[in-house]
Amino acid sequence: MKAIKLLLLCIGILILFSCKTDKMILKHEPFIINELNSDFIGTWLFVKRIDENGNKLDTIWHSQGYEIADGPVTTFYKDGTYSMQFTPKNTDKGKWYYNPDSKSMTLFLLIDPNTWVGKEVIKFGLAKKYDNGNYYEELQYKIKKITNDTLQYIDYSNRDMTYKKIK
């Protein structure tokens, strides 16, 4: 009886490890499933940012100084790409994927390995190289609310971000 239980346990472990994992995704450029959630498609304007204690954030301290917490103008395109414009000269771009089962969004931020920021992100292992030669940093967001005009999510710093759709 013990041998059967051990055999079943081993089979279960093999099945578990044969399933697709995040490490397997690295073999290919970040993929986008054809059925994107159309509620996300469009341009979103920042409304407010709240910390984990419920306090509204107007500024955020970083190692280089204070950041005004006004959020980027974010656009999700129907081809599975996105842009986040912080300033006219500072725009992040990449690919996005929404998982309806976990109610989470993954952003694959395209990293330029020729910039000092890109070199640092790669050096510290925050960006991974894919088969196509591109580097991406994977960012996870927990979606709290998505409607035709409101997007609310928890960012990777555990801040509650609220946006309204403008297009």
pLDDT band at 11 (very low <50, low <70, confident <90, very high): very low
Contact of 45 with 163, CB cutoff 8 Å: yes
> 157 versus 16: which is more confidently predicted?
157
What is the SS3 assignment for 31?
coil
In whole angstroms, give the CA distance from residue 151 to residue 161.
Answer: 8
Helix (H) / strand (E) containing 7: helix 2-18
Which region among 32-36, 72-76, 102-106 has the lowest average model confidence (pLDDT)? 32-36
Contact of 50 with 57, CB cutoff 8 Å: yes
What is the β-pairing status of strands 104-111 and 150-154?
A: unpaired
pLDDT of residue 70: 75
Q: What is the domain partition of the chain in residue ranges?
A: 22-165
The CATH architecture annotation of domain 22-165 reads Beta Barrel (2.40)
